[in-house]
Amino acid sequence: MVRCFIGIFIPNEKAEKIVDVQKQIQKLPITLKFVERENLHICLSFLGDLKEEKIKEICEKMDMICKRYKKFEAEISGIKFIPSENYVRVLALDVKNNMLETIRKNVKNEIGGDSKPLHLTLGRVKKIENKKETIEKIKKIDSNIGKFTVEKISLIKSVLQKTGPIYSSLHDSFLL
């Protein structure tokens, strides 16, 4: 069994900007488990544990979905509090693009898995001190990461370690 999800890795120059946002958040009275720089991604669908024989079928479906779309730009901007500001479990960046949202829905409908609205997780919240004040400070952080070109979606293997997960691409499906 292989633990997998379908997602998009973030280009290096955008990852640097995201790490800068994480560093600004780190200065505040909030305790998080940040996503490591090399693991920054946009998840389209979490598939969980897959049998080896299922992987080939999923890769073929991903290729079919990607053949319907040309490369396009998506924008990462704005901090999201998941599930809400009142009960923050995850800090994320908003990902804006109707085409990418359509692809996410196609992946969910044609492949399955657990799919959430588009976002890029910054970290999982463990504790927030002075919650209202800290959230207001987080909102003021410049989180405009900018646009990047979506060229492919990837089937990503996730190996859990004590230090955090290690992600690697099992298959890349390229847009036209």
**pLDDT(49) > 90:** yes
Distance of CA 55 to the CA centre of its chain: 21
How many CB atoms neighbour CB 88 within 10 A? 20
For tokens 């588009």, name the residue.
Answer: 118
CATH of the domain at 168: 3.90.1140.10
CA–CA separation, 39 vs 59, rounded Å? 21
Of 10, 32, 35, 41, which residue is the catalytic one?
41
| Structure tokens that stand for 68 in this block | 């319907």
Range of the domain at 118: 2-174
Tally of domains within the chain = 1
Pull the structure tokens for residue 106. Answer: 């196609």
- The question of whether 119 is a catalytic residue gets the answer yes
Nearest-5° Cα angle at 34, 127 to 20: 115
Cα atoms found within 13 Å of the Cα of residue 157, Cβ hemisphere only: 12
Tokens of 46: 């979490």
Q: Examine the residue annotation and report whether 171 is marked as an active-site residue of this protein.
A: no
For residue 37, pLDDT beyond 90: yes
Omega before 165 cis (within 30°)?
A: no
Contact 135, 126 (CB under 8 A): no
Burial class (CB in 10 A: 0-12, 13-18, 19+), 103: buried
Q: Measured between alpha carbons, how far is 157 from 66 in angstroms, rounded to an integer?
A: 19
Q: Give yes or no for a contact between 94 and 80, defined as CB atoms under 8 angstroms apart.
A: yes
pLDDT at 129: 96
Q: pLDDT tens digits for 133-144?
A: 999 999 999 999
Task: Dump pLDDT digits (tens) for 112-169.
Answer: 999 999 999 999 999 999 999 999 999 999 999 999 999 999 999 999 999 889 999 9
List 61, 104, 119, 171, catalytic entry: 119
